[in-house]
Each structure stands twice: as structure tokens, then as C-alpha cells.
């Protein structure tokens, strides 16, 4: 019944628009219906559909359209792909924050740390690790309805059936692929670029077809970004090192925190040898933060040793 009602709404759009994007919009609607099982979810779905129709219907009738002469192929994100993207990049394993909070508490008790600052560190860490989970709905809503249409001479970026960006074949300067993440379609203007996640259906075919348009480069210099995610788990250890009062607990904590900070400083100064894209110079603030944190650790050690 829901698909029949949606099909009737699609008939309100211009014939050329239905021919080009009708099937893609039906597939997106089917995915949404399959994902929204609760009554509140279905109500939210129909509110989104009606609001989109109210905005896009007048726009499509007023917009001059070029007749489509070629069959276009769409590359979309399924609900399963959205779930994989969320699990892989936004939602940490539930055991990790719990284990880290327990470790902070244990180190604080063994190191005779003051209780209330220790509780504050645990609370802040819990809030920081909960933010990606709380933002998951926004992330899914951002990528749901995302689609790329590849024609013979241009590529279209679409969201919920509406064209948001068009890049001509002659505009594309290069392609930059980050393994396991996706493909950046770059032009001479930074604001005019398209990101194709690797979870798109038909991603390998899209990459193969686009590689005939522009040089394909591989971005292997992402180790700094990977270590940035790891370093997030080190800052509670750093805070514990500043709080503990026992030299026996402080020594290993300082070693771990200092190693992490030196790695952060190294990745700031030397982001990688294989540079496939021009990188900005390290900012003074980015270099100063690890140095200040190392100085605080040294001051803590000097205060306890004296």
C-alpha cells in the first residue's frame, strides 16, 4: 500500500524527471520502508516524503531540463551499507569504553589520585565516547538518499532525488582513493568535489569508469588519521598520569603517555613519506599542544621526585 501511494506521488513529477530518477527514488523509498519498522518511524518517513514533495515539485517544474538521451546508472547506499559504515567508523565496540573507564579507576585508586578529579575524567571520557553513538541518526540521515549518476560526459550528485552538484568530465582534475574509505572526485575548486564512499553499490565499476576520465591516485598517507583515533584512547591515561601521586604507578603511565604524545608530534611534523596530495604546513598550535603536554608530564615527575 505504501509503495502504491508513493507511486501516485511520483506521477506528479514531470515525465522527464520520472524517467531519469523515478526508479532510483522508488528504491530509496523501499529501503526506508524496510528500515522503519515502528509506527513513529513510518510517520517520520511520510513527513519526510511530503516535505520533499512540497519543495521539489515546484522546483522541477520551474527548472529547465535537458532531454536525457542516454541510459544513466545510479550508485546508491543500501541500508545494510549504511549500517556497516556506522559500525565501522562511528560506533566503537561497547566493551572498549567500559574497559577504559575501569582501567582509569583502577589506576587512580592504585596511584592514590584525588577522587573527584578522577570521577570527572571518567565522566568526560564516557561523554566523548557516547557522542558518535548519539550522532548515528544524523550520520545515517545524511547518507540515506545519497546517489551518484554517471553519464557519458558528467557525474551528478543527488540527495533524496534532487541534484545537488554536477561535475563535467572536463572539470575533473584527478581521483584520490583512500583504501577502505572511498574515492574523492576532485576539480580545480575545493568546493566543487564529490566523495564516493566505498560502500556504494557498484563502487568498483564506478571507480573503473571514472579512471578513464582522470588520473587515479592512491592515498596511502592516512596513518596519521588512523593514529589520531588511537590517540583518543590515550588522553584518559595522560589525565591519570597527571592525577596519580604514587611514583610506582606514575612511571609506566608517563612512559605510555609520553610515547603517545611523541607519536602525535611526529605525525604532525611528518605526516607521511608518500604524498599524493599537497599537504598544508603544520600549524603552530598543532605542534605546541604535544610539547605543552610533555612539559606538564615532566613537571609532574619533578614535583613527585623532589
Question: What is the pLDDT, as a whole number, of residue 127?
Answer: 75
Is 38 domain-assigned? yes
pLDDT at position 145, please? Answer: 81
Do 298 and 200 share a structural domain?
no
Radius of gyration of the chain (CA): 25
Show Cβ contacts of residue 288 under 8 Å, excluding neighbours closer than 6 positions. Answer: none
- Both 86 and 45 in a single domain? no
Residues 140 and 209 in one domain: yes
Per the domain annotation, does 266 fall within a domain? Answer: yes
Instruction: State pTM to two decimals.
Output: 0.49
CA separation for the pair 262, 242 (Å, rounded): 17
* Mean pLDDT of each 10-residue bin along the chain, 306 residues long: 80 79 82 79 80 79 55 71 63 65 80 82 76 66 83 88 88 89 88 89 90 86 50 71 78 76 66 46 63 79 75
Helix-strand-coil split of the chain, %, nearest 5: 60, 15, 30
CATH number of the domain within which 154 lies: 2.30.29
**Amino acid 213: pLDDT:** 92
Residues 74 and 165 in one domain: yes
- Pair (64, 192) in one structural domain: no
The reply to whether 193 and 250 lie within a common domain is: no
Q: How far apart are CA 151 and CA 161, in angstroms?
A: 16
Query: In sequence order, which ranges of 63-94 are alpha helices (DSSP H)?
Result: 79-89
Tell me whether residue 103 is in a domain.
yes
Considering the domain architecture, whether residues 153 and 231 belong to the same structural domain is answered as no
Same domain, 77 and 63: no
Q: 226 and 80, same structural domain?
A: no
Please give the tally of structural domains in the chain.
3
Cα 51 to its chain centre, rounded Å, is 26
Name the β-bridge partners of 155: 150, 167
User: Is 163 contained in some domain?
Assistant: yes
User: Are 229 and 211 members of one domain?
Assistant: no
> CB of 196 within 8 A of CB of 156?
no
Pair 253, 107 in one domain: yes
Domain that includes residue 79, residue range: 70-90+135-219
Distance CA 162, CA 17 (A): 10
Beta bridge partners of 30: none
User: Alpha-carbon distance 29 to 147, whole Å?
Assistant: 13
Amino acid at each position: 500500500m505504501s509503495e502504491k501511494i508513493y507511486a501516485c506521488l511520483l506521477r506528479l513529477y514531470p515525465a522527464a524527471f520520472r524517467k531519469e530518477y523515478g526508479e532510483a527514488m522508488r528504491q530509496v523509498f523501499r529501503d526506508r520502508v524496510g528500515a522503519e519498522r515502528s509506527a513513529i518511524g513510518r510517520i517520520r518517513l511520510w513527513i519526510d516524503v511530503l516535505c520533499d514533495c512540497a519543495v521539489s515539485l515546484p522546483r522541477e517544474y520551474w527548472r529547465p531540463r535537458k532531454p536525457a538521451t542516454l541510459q544513466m546508472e545510479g550508485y546508491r547506499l543500501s541500508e545494510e551499507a549504511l549500517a556497516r559504515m556506522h559500525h565501522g567508523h562511528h560506533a566503537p565496540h561497547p566493551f572498549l569504553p567500559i574497559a577504559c573507564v575501569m582501567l582509569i579507576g583502577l589506576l587512580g585508586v592504585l596511584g592514590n589520585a584525588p577522587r573527584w578529579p578522577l570521577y570527572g575524567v571518567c565522566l568526560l571520557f564516557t561523554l566523548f565516547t557516547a557522542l558518535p553513538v548519539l550522532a548515528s541518526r544524523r550520520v545515517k540521515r545524511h547518507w540515506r538518499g545519497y546517489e551518484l549518476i554517471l553519464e557519458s560526459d558528467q557525474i551528478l550528485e543527488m540527495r533524496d532525488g534532487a541534484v545537488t552538484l554536477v561535475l563535467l568530465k572536463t572539470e575533473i582534475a584527478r581521483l584520490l582513493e583512500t583504501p577502505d574509505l572511498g574515492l574523492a572526485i576532485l576539480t580545480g575548486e575545493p568546493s566543487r568535489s564529490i566523495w564516493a564512499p566505498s560502500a556504494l553499490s557498484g563502487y568498483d565499476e564506478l571507480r573503473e569508469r571514472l579512471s578513464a576520465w582522470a588520473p587515479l591516485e592512491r592515498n596511502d598517507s592516512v596513518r596519521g588519521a588512523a593514529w589520531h583515533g588511537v590517540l583518543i584512547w590515550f588522553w584518559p591515561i595522560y589525565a591519570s598520569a597527571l592525577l596519580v601521586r604514587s611514583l610506582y604507578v606514575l612511571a609506566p603511565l608517563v612512559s605510555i603517555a609520553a610515547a603517545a604524545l611523541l607519536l602525535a608530534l611526529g605525525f604532525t611534523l611528518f605526516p607521511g613519506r608518500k604524498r599524493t596530495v599537497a599537504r598544508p604546513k603544520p600549524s603552530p598550535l598543532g605542534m605546541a599542544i604535544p610539547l605543552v603536554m610533555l612539559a606538564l608530564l615532566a613537571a609532574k615527575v619533578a614535583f613527585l621526585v623532589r
